[in-house]
């Protein structure tokens, strides 16, 4: 990024550092200083959280995550930032894609306790960020 780092990206551990260094001009989100306030806020909350979190934003479902989520992405950690969520999770997209579509089309959160994903049974939730 060539411009000054927006304050909402300060801190945030490894992923905060990577988000500050990432060339967002090459991604569909564009420069962070031009992001909607709602995206800036949710990214700040995500980076500060110790709970594993990721986000699918916009029509391309751009994927940022926080440090707590890095063990979940495992060997993908080097390329997930700014990638499409359906690419990051292509092996389970048939399971989580419909849930994400439901959230995006209805604005209503989902919750699964024990949904089998990649030989584990995590609690899984998807929620909307009202930004319109």
The answer to whether 62 touches 28, Cβ cutoff 8 Å, is yes
**Residue 1, pLDDT score:** 44
Mean pLDDT computed over every residue of the chain: 84
DSSP sequence for 24-87: GGGSTT--GGGS-HHHHHHHHHHHH-SS--B--BTTTTEE-B-GGGHHHHGGGGGT-TTEEHHH
**Residue 121, pLDDT score:** 45
Report pLDDT digits (tens) over 3-56.
Answer: 577 899 998 999 999 999 999 988 888 999 999 999 999 999 999 999 899 888
Largest CA distance in the chain: 44
d(CA 39, CA 113): 27
pTM of the model as a whole: 0.82
d(CA 18, CA 77): 11
**Residue 75, pLDDT score:** 92
pLDDT-based confidence at residue 132 (cuts at 50, 70, 90): very low
Q: What are phi and psi of 62, to 5 degrees?
A: -60, 135
Report pLDDT digits (tens) over 75-116.
Answer: 999 999 999 999 999 998 998 889 888 888 888 888 877 777
Which one is predicted more confidently, 14 or 61?
Answer: 14
| Residue 20, CB-side half-sphere exposure with 13 Å CA sphere | 16
């Amino acid at each position: 990024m060539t411009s000054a780092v927006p304050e909402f990206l300060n801190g945030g551990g490894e992923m905060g550092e990577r988000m500050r260094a990432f060339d967002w001009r090459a991604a569909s989100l564009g420069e962070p200083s031009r992001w909607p306030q709602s995206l800036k806020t949710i990214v700040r909350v995500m980076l500060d959280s110790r709970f594993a979190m990721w986000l699918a934003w916009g029509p391309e479902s751009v994927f940022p995550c926080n440090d707590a989520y890095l063990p979940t992405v495992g060997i993908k950690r080097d390329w997930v930032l700014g990638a499409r969520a359906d690419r990051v999770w292509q092996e389970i997209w048939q399971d989580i894609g419909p849930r994400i579509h439901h959230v995006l089309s209805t604005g209503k959160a989902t919750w699964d306790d024990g949904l089998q994903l990649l030989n584990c049974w995590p609690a899984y939730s998807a929620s909307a960020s009202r930004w319109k």
